[in-house]
Structure 1
Amino acid sequence: MDQPLAPDLVVYDLDETLTRRATFTPFLLHAARTVAPWRLPFLPIWVMAMIGHKVGLWQRTALKTFGMRLMAGRRGPAELAQVAESFAVSRGFLPRAQRAVAEDLAAGRRVIVATAAFAFYARPIAMRLGIHEVVGTHWDGEGIPGGNCYGPVKLARVQAWLADEGLAREGLRVRVVSDSRADAPLLDWADEGWFVNPSARRVAEIERRGWRVVDFRR
């Protein structure tokens, strides 16, 4: 049997694909503790806002904007740079994810992180794994220009990154690695989709989509 072709470009999601846990609420708490401890009592308001999102009262972009303003104020990425660095140090990674990234980098593949997380704090997290290129959600201190880097928007941002880098999609073999069905547009666009850590009830669905099931927890 022929061996599958190795990818030239590998695109990793961040939250719960590389990291052990989601990052946004932990970042909000870390930012509040670091730059505005008086905001910590607002945490129950944030919890209620997340519940509101679950029942359809908030869109993701509006929710994230509210969370940043509530817990970190109107500070921009430059003002939050040191907060982002100290937050990155405390992030834990899934064991197999670390090995997969190391293998990709050692093989000379181009590796990027594409995430709905804010790029200003996702970048130092990614750099701890040796990944220097991040496509993420933008924060300007007031709002989220261009919207949340999520679902089809994430695919469009990755395609824009390819264009900016002068890379032709037709000349690349691409692998996308994610734990989220929201990344279906990106996984379908890839030559090789890896869906990591699915629940048992989702495995059949994932395999029907033609994606590979991978366990990054061991």
Structure 2
Amino acid sequence: MAISIYDMDRTITRGGTWGPWLRFWLRRHAPWRIVLLPLLGLAGAAYATRIIDRGALKATAHRLLMGRRLPRSLVMAAAADYADKVVANGCFEAALEQIAADRAAGCQLVLATASNAYYAEAIGTRLGFDAVIATPSRWIDNQLDWRLGDANCYGQEKRKRVAAWLDQNAKVGDPLRFHSDHQSDAPVFLLVSARGGKAFATNATAELTALAQKNGWPQVIWGQPRKSLFERA
């Protein structure tokens, strides 16, 4: 069976999804936490200067703007509403058309993203994906903890998880494709190429465009992604 793997932020969606998720949560459940934004600014500065990594930044943002523990029912209801919003207004039409074409062709669809699983899975379900590989959530006593469930699904970590999924679900010779916009997914591009698949630099950054030209990866444009300071993949 053919397998099509897609990155999410700025590949399918018009922009990053983590910052908008936090704003969505603040407006809906914790508007008072806006007073903690200066502390998040400090965490952002620590990330920008490489004192902390992306995973630590995510966890800190969650702790400040969402809280330490949250009931599963509350989180999943909010994630469902947020996913509806993203799918209705936040995706490139050309991306949705390609996903629909792959589905119609009988491809197995896999969403591979660094976004948090609790809302990435809701978006993936609405887009018709068969599997979602994302940054794991940590659930304790049926509550969402502010810490990540495992390493941030980014760069080499995403490659490792995609490879593990393929080892368990793909057969030798299955046609394989991958779409992503960002150079951090170069390890996945190389993995797919090594397995005889085709990797597409999609809505590519300048850095990924250069890598694509060097490695012979086809380029496609589904739209112009929105930029943000800390959501660079």
Q: TM-score, normalised by structure 1?
A: 0.88
> Runs of 5+ in structure 2 lacking a partner?
139-144, 225-233
Q: Is the 8 A contact 1:123 1:132 kept in 2?
A: no
Tell me, yes or no, if structure 1 residue 58 matches structure 2 residue 52. Answer: yes
Corresponding position of 1:3: none
Judged with a 3 Å threshold, the aligned counterparts in structure 2 of structure 1 residues 204 and 67 are, in CA distance, closer, same or farther, namely closer
Tell me the C-alpha RMSD between the 2 structures. 2.0
Give the whole-Å Cα distance in 2 for the aligned partners of 1:27 and 1:159: 28
Is structure 2 residue 73 aligned with structure 1 residue 82?
Answer: no
Find the residue that maps to 1:146 and give its secondary structure: coil
The answer for the alignment partner of 1:37 in structure 2 is 31
- 1:176 counterpart residue number: 178
Q: Distance in 2 between matches of 1:99 and 1:147?
A: 32
1:213 corresponds, among 210, 219, 227, to 219
The letter for the 1-side match of 2:115 is A
- Residues 175 and 123 of structure 1: is their aligned pair in 2 closer, same or farther, counting only changes over 3 Å? same
Q: Structure 2 matches for 1:158-177, cutoff 5 A?
A: 158-165=162-169, 167-168=170-171, 170-177=172-179
Counterparts of 2:118 and 2:150, CA distance in 1 = 15
Residues in 2 aligned to 1:173 and 1:77: alpha-carbon distance in whole angstroms: 41
Partner of 1:137: 135
Question: In structure 2, do the counterparts of structure 1 residues 142 and 44 end up closer, same or farther at CA, with 3 Å as the change threshold?
Answer: closer
Pairs within 5 Å for 1:13-162: 13-76=7-70, 78=72, 79-91=74-86, 92-140=90-138, 141-162=145-166
Percent identical:
34
Task: Give SS of 1:176's match.
Answer: strand
* Aligned residues of 1:206 and 1:213 also touching (Cα < 8 A): yes
Matched residue type, 1:110: Q
Larger mean Cα displacement after TM superposition, 131-140 or 96-105: 131-140
Aligned residues: 210
Residues 180-199 of structure 1 mapped to structure 2, 5 A cutoff: 180-190=182-192, 191-199=197-205
Structure holding more strand per residue: 2
Deviates more, 1:41-50 or 1:196-205: 196-205
Aligned to 2:229: none
CA distance in 2, matches of 1:36, 1:164: 41
Q: Distance in 2 between matches of 1:202 and 1:10?
A: 19
State the distance in 1 between where 2:42 and 2:10 align: 23
Alignment CA distance shift 1:73-1:104 (3 Å): same
Q: Matched residues in 2 for 1:14 and 1:171: separation?
A: 25
Contact persistence 1:76–1:139 (CA under 8 A): no
Separation in 1, partners of 2:211, 2:60? 34
Deviation for aligned residue 1:88: 1.1
Matched residue SS, 1:162: helix
Higher mean displacement: 207-216 or 16-25? 207-216
Residue-by-residue CA offset, 1:147-189 (whole Å, 9 max, x unaligned) = 1001111111112223444x33x23221110001000010111
Deviation at 1:199? 4.6
For structure 1, list consecutive stretches of 5 or more residues without a partner in the other structure: 1-6
